[in-house]
Structure 1
Amino acid sequence: MDVIIHKADMQNAPKANEFSRKFIVRSRVVLEIEKEQLKYSVVEVDPYERDIPAEDTNYGFSETGPTVFFAESNGKPAGRIKMLEWWNQFAYVDDIVVNSEFRGTGLGRALLESGIQWAHESNFPGVMLETQDDNVPACTLYQKYGFVLSGFDRNVYKAVRPNSNETALFWYLIF
């Protein structure tokens, strides 16, 4: 697989509908707190399909806007990562997506590495991100890369999806 990762600009930014976040949930993260430390285990669940719509394509290319890296394979969009400066001065992974045919190939890790390298070069103290408790493959990637699960919010999605049982998980990689 020949993949090229490049920093995006207004001319080479694919549209959001060229990316798919559809996946099958087979497990969930179960949280516990032990001696003031957040820990988790993974439990299997009855499989169900999850589709998170890709974000708007307004990437806000400017000095203060996001920095976006795209991955392409043979000219076809394979994935992207969108990095921001967060309010707490950390770099923030606002969006990371790998199209289904490229999952399990190491592309997610390569995109994450591009975002982390950008954060290092931009002198951020670290990187933070948020994912959901039903996205176990993402949680596994972040943990393997050295991110630490540092917080959660059980209500963050209730306004947009009132019947949701999702928990937001907050991960940090401190440099």
Structure 2
Amino acid sequence: MDIFIRELRAGDEECGTNIDGSFIVDSTLVLQLMGQRIGYTVKEIPLRIKSYDDEQLEEDTVGDYSNYIDNPDQIIYVALANNQVVGQIVLKRNWNKYAYVEDIKVDKQYRGYGVGKKLIEQAKRWAMDGRMTGIMLETQNNNVRACKFYESCGFVIGGFDSYVYRGLDKNSDEIAIYWYLILD
């Protein structure tokens, strides 16, 4: 399968809005502090399907990407297979000289074909071209497949926050994990 990555352009209406970004939750990372490094073990939990697409807030940029077009401090790349958008990565230049991944998703039918790796490689090029220190992103301890993917791309855990998702649900046991990829 040929995957083509390109920058989002004006006129790309609803680009990426049909991507099924849902994921299987069947395990969770149990974090451990080991000296100055954060490690983890994986614990199985009852299976369920989760999607943050259902929980988007009005002020999110999901519906209007126009402010990302021709902006040197933020960009969106889309992944195409057979002229169909099958993935996207939304990036911005963060205050700490990292490229911050605001969102990355690959349609569930196209996972396992290298789409995510190609999006991360494009993010690396954008960050290096912009003389940024690296790439950072946040995901959840219950999105183990995403965590393993980021780790396989060279990211390391830089921190975590057990209160982020309690704003959505005061009883949430989700933990936000912050991943970093340092560029040379």
Q: TM-score, normalised by structure 1?
A: 0.93
Cross-structure match for 1:9: 9
Q: How many residues align?
A: 175
Q: How far, CA to CA, are the matches of 2:105 and 2:156 in structure 1?
A: 20
Gaps of 5+ in 2: none
Matched, 1:38 2:46: no
> Which residue of the other structure, out of 155, 158, 169, is the alignment partner of 2:163?
155
Q: How far, CA to CA, are the matches of 2:143 and 2:83 in structure 1?
A: 28
Q: Shift in Å at residue 63 of structure 1?
A: 2.5
Q: How far, CA to CA, are the matches of 1:15 and 1:106 in structure 2?
A: 20
> Which residue of the other structure, out of 112, 135, 139, is the alignment partner of 1:131?
139
**Aligned alpha-carbon RMSD (Å):** 1.6
C-alpha distance 91-13 of structure 1, shift in aligned 2 (>3 A): farther
Deviations 1:135-164 (CA, angstroms, capped at 9, x unpaired): 111111111111110100000111123332
Q: How far, CA to CA, are the matches of 1:24 and 1:63 in structure 2?
A: 34
Gaps of 5+ in 1: none
Cross-structure match for 1:51: 51
After TM superposition, the structure 1 stretch with the greater mean CA deviation from structure 2, 60-69 or 18-27, is: 60-69
Q: How far, CA to CA, are the matches of 1:12 and 1:130 in structure 2?
A: 27
Identity of aligned residues (%): 34
Q: Shift in Å at residue 87 of structure 1?
A: 1.8
Q: How far, CA to CA, are the matches of 1:58 and 1:85 in structure 2?
A: 19
Q: Shift in Å at residue 52 of structure 1?
A: 1.1
Q: Shift in Å at residue 74 of structure 1?
A: 1.0
